[in-house]
Amino acid sequence: MSAGSNAPPLPDFAEAVRLLRAGELVAFPTETVYGLGADASNPEAVARIFAAKGRPSSHPLIVHLPDAGHLDRWARDIPRPAWELAEAFWPGPLTLILPRAPDVPHAVTGGQETVGVRVPAHPITLGLLRAFARAGGGRRGLCGIAGPSANRFGRISPTDAAHVREELGAAVALVLDGGACEVGIESTILDLSRRDGPPRLLRPGHITPGQIGKVIGEFPELPAGMRAAAVPRVSGSLDGHYAPRTAMRLTASDALLRAVEDASSQGKRCGLLLRGPLEPPAVHALRRLPDAPDGYARGLYAALRELDQAGGDLIFVEAVPPGPDWAAVADRLRRAARGSGKA
C-alpha cells in the first residue's frame, strides 16, 4: 500500500475464491447491507444459503456481477433501459429483474423465469468478484455471487461484519470485513422483465423512481399493485421483515412523548429512536438518527439492532415524514414494526 493512503488494504481473495468454488458460503460487504454469498452457478451451494438463513427456497436471490459486461450471461432479451440504467447506476444500489438466461439455475431464481442482478459498489466485493472471474468463475463459465442479505429470514439486515457473525455464526465459512455499509438499506429493485407496460418498482431504495425515470425517460410503476401478487416475488414485500424481536411501534412526533410516558407508567421499559429535535424523556435505551433520509438510512439497522439488544419491552420509533425522499426508509420501518415482537 502506498504511504499516506487511508484506504484499508484489500484482503487476499485467494481463500475466498477457493471457498466459493468449493461450494462454501462467504459473507461480503456491499454499499447497502452485507450479503451471504455463494457461487450462483452451483445449486448445492445456493441451497446452503437458504438453509443458513432459514429462508424458504421459493424466494429468488440477487446475483452480484463483476460488471455489466457479464449481464448477457445471466439474462436474455435485455431491453435498452436495462443497459442505460446499468451505465448510469452500476456499480451501485440498483437491482434489475430480467428474463433469465437458460443456464441460470432454478435454485437462484426460486423457479421463476426471471433473474435479479446487480453490480455492488464496494471495493472488497468488486475485488472478490473480479478475482472469482479471473479464476474462471463457477460452472459453465458463469461468474456471479448469489447473495441475499446476511441475516436470518425476516430479521434486521446486517450493516457491519459483527452483525453477520451474530446472525449466522458458524454457518458462514468466511466473513469479509468491509466496515460499516455506506447506504445502509437494501438496493432498489426494478422489474424490467415485462414485455409491455412501464418497468415496475418492486422495492424502494436509495435510487429513487425519479432518478430512474430521468435515465430511461419513463417513470416506473410504484409498488401498490405488487402487494396483491399471489406469490412472494420479493421477500422484502412480505409484511413483516427487517424486524427486531422486541415489539416496535411507529409513532408520530407529536404523539411520541405521551405514548412513551403512558407505557413507562405501566412499568414497560421503553427503547426510543428519535430523529427530530425532541427532548427525550427518561427511557431504558435511546438512539437518535440524523433527520435526513440518507443519514437516517445509514444508521437505521444498527440502531434497531442496538435497541433490540438493550432488552426493553417496547421500542418506540419516531415516524418519518411522508413523501418520496423518505419512502425507502418508511417502507423498512413499516415492515420492521409489523414483523416485530415475535421473539
Residues binding ligand TXA (CB under 6 A): 30, 32-33, 35, 59-62, 93, 95, 97, 109, 112, 114-116, 120, 147-149, 186-187, 189, 202, 233-236
By a kind-dependent CB cut-off of 5 to 8 A, residue 293 interacts, out of Mg ion, ligand TXA, none, with none
167 is written with which cell numbers?
A: 446472525
Site of interaction with Mg ion (CB under 5 A): 149
- The nearest distance, CB 225 to Mg ion, in angstroms, is 22
Distance CA 22, CA 48 (A): 12
Closer to ligand TXA by CB, 116 or 271: give it: 116
Closer to ligand TXA by CB, 138 or 236: give it: 236
- The nearest distance, CB 318 to ligand TXA, in angstroms, is 25
Please, are residues 176 and 158 in contact by the beta-carbon 8 Å criterion? no
The size of the chain, in residues, is 343
Please, are residues 63 and 143 in contact by the beta-carbon 8 Å criterion? no
Distance CA 246, CA 343 (A): 7
The continuous run of DSSP H or E covering 302 comes out as helix 293-309
By a kind-dependent CB cut-off of 5 to 8 A, residue 333 interacts, out of Mg ion, ligand TXA, none, with none
Q: Which residue is nearest to Mg ion (CB)?
A: 149
By a kind-dependent CB cut-off of 5 to 8 A, residue 234 interacts, out of Mg ion, ligand TXA, none, with ligand TXA
Closer to Mg ion by CB, 99 or 154: give it: 154
- The nearest distance, CB 121 to ligand TXA, in angstroms, is 10
Closer to Mg ion by CB, 172 or 283: give it: 172
Where does residue 101 fall: left (phi above 0), alpha (psi -120 to 50 degrees), or beta otherwise?
beta
- The radius of gyration of the chain from alpha carbons, rounded to an integer in Å, stands at 20
By a kind-dependent CB cut-off of 5 to 8 A, residue 208 interacts, out of Mg ion, ligand TXA, none, with none
- The nearest distance, CB 94 to Mg ion, in angstroms, is 16
Q: Are strands 174-175 and 270-274 parallel, antiparallel or unpaired?
A: unpaired
- The nearest distance, CB 314 to ligand TXA, in angstroms, is 26
Closer to ligand TXA by CB, 70 or 263: give it: 70
Please, are residues 115 and 100 in contact by the beta-carbon 8 Å criterion? yes
- The nearest distance, CB 31 to ligand TXA, in angstroms, is 8
Closer to ligand TXA by CB, 148 or 178: give it: 148
109 is written with which cell numbers?
A: 431464481
Q: What burial letters (b/e) apply to 55-72, b meaning 16+ CB within 10 Å? A: beeebbbbbbbbebebbe
